[in-house]
């Protein structure tokens, strides 16, 4: 009995390790290839035809000669890359902060404040989540054009701040906060704002962490919205520039891609535990 359980656990562990390696391989490949010499990248990545035979992409990500030349070229000789990297941060960071602020306050209203037709209004509010974002691109474009915000980072930040996703996610957590906690705070004389900041927010911190990382990843990788709303290339985020690097300068594309992934990886590692707990609590609820 014990042996069968051990065997089943071993098989499960090996299976999950293989699946994890399968998903991690692209990241490992990009990381390893970013330390290759330009000549090695050309030989391994670009298919080189030699007579009737062809040499195709190699799946070995360990460089023959360790070099940081790609990173030197990106960080010292690619001003456009660094400029667009900061553009991405200037767009995504205010967007994430704004969505957490607006989403948490709206979620608190829908979860704990009672007013007529609350559920119906909330249902209408989250209907936009059922639509692909391509459907809302034209209305958003018309609104931004009317406000005179086209070719301005605010044309990306404002629609993201008022996204329904953050409201929906945080409301799921706040709904299951016991009303007795809020009632006790009211008896002690706490007002609406004090209850929100000192009782509600600490109890949904895992949900906020999940919202931060999911929102950051979604808008860090956006491409269609910047291309539509920002006609000035110098104002566009890095996500729109990576394909250009891949087409024109493949020798530094791997270092450029890894630096681009680094903020997401660091954020995920920092909030990994909160993200897992947030998803678990959301599933239970």
Do 177 and 50 fall into the same domain?
A: no
Do 117 and 177 lie in a common domain?
A: yes
Count structural domains, the chain: 2
The torsion angles phi and psi of 142, rounded to 5 degrees, stand at -65, -40
Q: Is residue 63 part of a domain?
A: no
Using one digit for the tens of pLDDT, what is the confidence trace for 71-101?
Answer: 888 888 888 899 999 999 999 999 999 999 9
pLDDT in tens, 126-172: 887 877 777 888 888 999 999 999 999 999 999 999 888 899 889 98
Of 25-29, 77-81, 143-147, 275-279, minimum mean pLDDT range: 275-279
Whether residue 139 sits in one domain with residue 76: yes
The reply to whether 61 falls in a domain is: no
Please check whether residues 124 and 14 belong to one and the same domain.
no
| Least confident stretch, 7-16, 41-50, 188-197, 217-226 | 41-50
Of 56, 58, 65, the closest CA to residue 29 belongs to 58
Q: Is residue 123 part of a domain?
A: yes
The tens digit of pLDDT for each residue in 236-270 reads 999 998 888 867 777 788 889 999 999 998 998 88
Residue 164 shares a structural domain with residue 271: yes
Residues 225 and 98 occupy one common structural domain: yes
In a shared domain, residues 23 and 131: no
Q: What percent of the chain has pLDDT over 70?
A: 88
168 within domain boundaries: yes
- For residue 189, being part of any structural domain is answered with yes
On whether residue 64 sits in a domain, the answer given is no
Shared domain for 22 and 159, answered yes or no, is no
For residue 170, being part of any structural domain is answered with: yes
Helices (H), the chain: 2-33, 38-45, 69-77, 79-112, 118-125, 133-147, 154-161, 164-174, 179-187, 192-195, 201-203, 205-220, 224-229, 242-248, 253-284
Please measure the distance between the N-terminal and C-terminal CA atoms of the chain and give it in whole angstroms: 35
Judge if 10 and 117 occupy the same domain: no
In this structure, the answer to whether residues 19 and 109 fall within a common structural domain is no
Angle at 219 between CA 216 and CA 222, to 5 degrees: 145
Residue 263 belongs to domain with CATH number: 1.10.3720.10
Q: Indicate whether 14 and 126 sit together in one domain.
A: no
Which residues form the domain of 222? 69-284
For tokens 């910047």, name the residue.
226
The pTM assigned to this predicted structure is 0.84
For helices 133-147 and 154-161, the axis angle rounded to 10 degrees is 120
**Domain co-membership, 249 together with 141:** yes
pLDDT of residue 45: 60
């Amino acid at each position: 009995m014990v042996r069968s359980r051990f065997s089943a656990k071993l098989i499960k562990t090996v299976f999950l390790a293989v699946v994890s390696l399968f998903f991690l391989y692209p990241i490992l490949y990009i990381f390893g290839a970013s330390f290759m010499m330009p000549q090695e990248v050309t030989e391994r990545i670009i298919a080189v035809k030699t007579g009737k035979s062809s040499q195709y992409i190699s799946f070995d990500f360990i460089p023959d000669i360790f070099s940081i030349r790609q990173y030197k070229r990106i960080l010292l000789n690619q001003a456009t890359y660094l400029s667009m990297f900061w553009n991405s941060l200037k767009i995504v960071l205010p967007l994430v902060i704004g969505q957490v602020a607006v989403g948490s306050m709206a979620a608190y209203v829908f979860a704990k404040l009672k007013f007529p037709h609350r559920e119906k209004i909330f249902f209408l509010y989250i209907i936009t989540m059922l639509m692909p974002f391509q459907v809302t691109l034209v209305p958003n474009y018309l609104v931004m054009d009317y406000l005179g915000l086209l070719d301005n980072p605010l044309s990306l930040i404002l629609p993201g701040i008022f996204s329904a996703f953050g409201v929906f996610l945080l409301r799921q957590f706040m709904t299951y906060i016991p009303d007795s906690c809020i009632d006790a705070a009211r008896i002690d004389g706490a007002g609406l704002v004090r209850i929100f900041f000192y009782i509600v927010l600490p109890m949904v911190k895992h949900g906020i962490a999940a919202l931060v990382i999911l929102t950051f990843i979604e808008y860090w990788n956006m491409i269609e919205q910047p291309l539509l709303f920002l006609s000035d290339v110098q104002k566009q985020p890095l996500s729109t520039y990576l394909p250009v690097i891949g087409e024109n300068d493949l020798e530094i594309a791997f270092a450029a891609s890894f630096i681009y992934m680094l903020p997401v990886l660091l954020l995920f590692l920092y909030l990994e535990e909160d993200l897992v707990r947030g998803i678990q609590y959301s599933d239970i609820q």
